[in-house]
Amino acid sequence: MTRASGHPRRPAAAQPRIDDYGAPFHAAATKGKLVVQRCASCGRLRWTPRPMCPHCHSLSADWPEVAPIGTVWSFCIPHPPLPPEFAERVPFAVALVALAGHPEIRMIGDLIDVPPATVKIGAAVRAVFEVPGDDVGLVHWTPR
Amino acid sequence: MGKAAIAGIGETEFARDIGRSERVIACEAVLAALRDAGLEPADVDGVVCMDLEHTDETELSRNVGFGDLSFFAKLPGGGGGAAALVGLAATAVVSGQATTVVVYRARNRSSGARPWAAGTQFHEGAPWMAPYGLVRPVDEVALWSRRYLHDRGVTREQLGSVAVTFREHAHANPRAQMHGRALSLDDYMNGRWISEPLCLFDCSLESDGAVAAVVTSAERAADLAHPPVVVRGFAQGISRDYQPMLNGWAPDPLRQPSDVAAAELWRRAGVGPGDVDVAQIYDGFSPMVLKALESYGFCREREAGAFAAAGGLRWSGGALPTNTSGGGLSEANIHGMNLVAEGVRQIRGTSTRQVSGAEVSFVSSAAMAQTSALVLASS
Contact B195, B138 (CB under 8 A): yes
Look at residue A11 and tell me whether its pLDDT is greater than 80: no
Task: Give the residue from chain B lying closest to A104, CA to CA.
Answer: B251
pLDDT band at A1 (very low <50, low <70, confident <90, very high): very low
**Mind listing the pLDDT tens digit for each residue in B245-273?**
999 999 999 999 999 999 999 999 999 99
Contact A108, B142 (CB under 8 A): no
pLDDT, residue A114, reads 96
**Mutation for B interface: A76, A88, A107, most B CBs within 10 A:** A76
Helices (H), ranges, chain B: 22-37, 57-64, 82-94, 137-152, 156-170, 185-189, 218-221, 257-269, 287-295, 304-309, 327-330, 337-348
In chain B, which residues have their Cβ closer than 8 Å to the Cβ of A109? 132
Q: What is the mean pLDDT of each run of 10 residues along chain B (379 residues)?
A: 92 96 97 98 98 95 98 95 98 98 92 68 83 93 98 98 98 98 98 98 97 98 96 98 94 97 97 98 98 98 98 98 98 98 98 98 97 97
pLDDT, residue A2, reads 36
Asked if B139 is an interface residue toward chain A (Cβ–Cβ < 8 A), one would say yes
| Contact: A47, B249; criterion CB under 8 Å | yes
In chain B, which residues have their Cβ closer than 8 Å to the Cβ of A48? 124-125, 128, 243, 249
**Mind listing the pLDDT tens digit for each residue in A68-116?**
999 999 999 999 999 888 999 899 999 999 999 999 999 999 999 999 9
Mean of the per-residue pLDDT values of chain A: 90
**Mind listing the pLDDT tens digit for each residue in B268-277?**
999 999 999 9
Is the omega angle on the peptide bond into residue A91 within 30 degrees of 0, that is, cis? yes
Task: Give the residue from chain A lying closest to B142, CA to CA.
Answer: A76
DSSP string, B173-226: -TTSTTTT----HHHHHTPPEEEETEEGGGBPPP-BEEEEEEEEEHHHHTTSSS
pLDDT band at A13 (very low <50, low <70, confident <90, very high): low
| Contact: A82, B135; criterion CB under 8 Å | yes
| Contact: B139, A10; criterion CB under 8 Å | no
Phi-psi region of B164 (alpha: psi -120 to 50; beta: other; left: phi over 0): alpha
Contact B367, B257 (CB under 8 A): yes
Contact B305, B145 (CB under 8 A): no
Asked if B356 is an interface residue toward chain A (Cβ–Cβ < 8 A), one would say no
The ipTM value here is: 0.95
Asked if B254 is an interface residue toward chain A (Cβ–Cβ < 8 A), one would say no
